[in-house]
Amino acid sequence: MTYLVIGLLVVFVWLLLACLRIVPQANQYVIEFLGKYRTTWDAGIHFLIPVLERVSKKISLKEQVLDGAPQPVITKDNVTMQIDTVVYYKVFDAKLNAYGVVNPKFALETLTATTLRNIVGGLDLDATLTSRESINAQMTQFLDEATDQWGIKVTRVELKNIIPPREIQSAMEKQMKAERDKREALLQAEAHKAAAITRAEGDKAAMILAAEGERDARIARAEGEAKAILLAKTAEADGLRALREADPTPAVLELKKYESLTVLADGVATKLVIPTDAVQMTTNAALFSEVTGLGDTTKPGKKPAPEKKADPCCEEDA
């Protein structure tokens, strides 16, 4: 009897542990009762009725990434390119996700490819290459609306790679090189222009400084000459004042006049107009020179040879 109780107790514990289910965080279990949906278990401890209930599907509520293979897409101008998309999504309803579609991931991948073809088919090559954000926004909005019945929330769609044909890539590289050469030429022209302007401004500043220096030099020379003239005139005035204060005699005054006349006559082809008083002064000076012998520069002439007297004695003998 004791062994029977122990056996029943062991079977009961085994059944209890077999029916015990622990749902991890950010997960949901879909439970069916006799093949029919019964409930959805959230995270925590749950008990499953043996034989009658079963876990139909285990679903993760975390955000997932769907990185599909590159898809061939034809643009509006008939250019075939390979575009690789990345879709970020998460499940918000486990029941819809379990019973809305057979394979939600494959369905989402297929829907992404068809949506991409529809959107890019209305754009040309240049618009496709420059409208990534617009394409991402359109695809996100369309996929989010289309997958609501599957219990899926599309949070973001990104164009991972856009690979145009080889000949288109070559043409784009040539165009890019031409644009770079154009920008380089413009930059060189701007640099040459700036250098020429700077050089002209430097020459202008140098000329202005040179003109200012020449002006200052002329002013300094003029001021020096004016001071020299002023000093000369001041000295002359002081000399005249000293002469006046000394009360010179008429003879001294006549001598000064003579010296002045000598200075005036010192030159080549000098012509003087002498007034009568000056003639009189010159006459007096000449008389003074003859008397004193001063200023006489005429060389004395040779004295005549004395005449020989006849000897009477000699004449008689003859």
Domain harbouring 81, CATH code: 3.30.479.30
Residue 12 inside a domain? The answer is yes
Q: Are 203 and 211 in contact (CB under 8 A)?
A: no
Sequence-distant (≥ 6) Cβ neighbours of residue 179 within 8 angstroms: none
Residue 114 inside a domain? The answer is yes
| pLDDT value at residue 126 | 84
Residue 274 inside a domain? The answer is no
What is the extent of the structural domain holding 47?
2-60
Query: Do 158 and 174 reside in the same domain of the chain?
Result: no
Give the end of a domain, one of 197, 212, 244. 244
| pLDDT value at residue 167 | 81
Q: Picking from 2-16, 41-55, 294-308, which range would have the lowest pLDDT averaged per residue?
A: 294-308
| pLDDT value at residue 313 | 44
What values do phi and psi take at 301, rounded to 5? -75, 170
Query: With 80 as the cut, is the pLDDT of residue 193 above it?
Result: yes
- Taking the mean position of all CA atoms in its chain, how far away is CA 39? 69
Q: Rounded to two decimals, what is the model's pTM?
A: 0.53
Cα angle, residue 116 at apex, residues 176 and 97 outer, rounded to 5°? 145
| pLDDT value at residue 318 | 38
Q: Which residues of 209-241 are buried (b: 16+ CB within 10 A; e: fewer)?
A: eeeeeeeeeeeeeeeeeeeeeeeeeeeeeeeee
Residue 306 inside a domain? The answer is no
Query: Do 77 and 92 reside in the same domain of the chain?
Result: yes
Residue 89 inside a domain? The answer is yes
Residue 235 inside a domain? The answer is yes
Query: Do 143 and 186 reside in the same domain of the chain?
Result: no
Query: With 90 as the cut, is the pLDDT of residue 234 above it?
Result: no
Query: With 50 as the cut, is the pLDDT of residue 315 above it?
Result: no
Give the end of a domain, one of 200, 225, 244. 244
- Of the pLDDT bands very low, low, confident and very high (cuts 50, 70, 90), residue 311 is very low
Query: Do 68 and 154 reside in the same domain of the chain?
Result: yes
User: Residue 65 pairs with which residues in a beta bridge?
Assistant: 88
Averaged pLDDT for residues 147-169: 88
Give the end of a domain, one of 164, 199, 219. 164
Query: Do 186 and 104 reside in the same domain of the chain?
Result: no
The count of structural domains within the chain is 3
Q: Picking from 128-137, 231-240, 302-311, which range would have the lowest pLDDT averaged per residue?
A: 302-311
Sequence-distant (≥ 6) Cβ neighbours of residue 65 within 8 angstroms: 86, 87, 88
Residue 273 inside a domain? The answer is no
Averaged pLDDT for residues 221-225: 89
Query: Do 100 and 159 reside in the same domain of the chain?
Result: yes
Averaged pLDDT for residues 161-189: 83
d(CA 50, CA 41): 16
Averaged pLDDT for residues 144-163: 91
- Of the pLDDT bands very low, low, confident and very high (cuts 50, 70, 90), residue 286 is low
Cα angle, residue 63 at apex, residues 60 and 65 outer, rounded to 5°? 110
Residue 48 inside a domain? The answer is yes
Averaged pLDDT for residues 273-293: 54
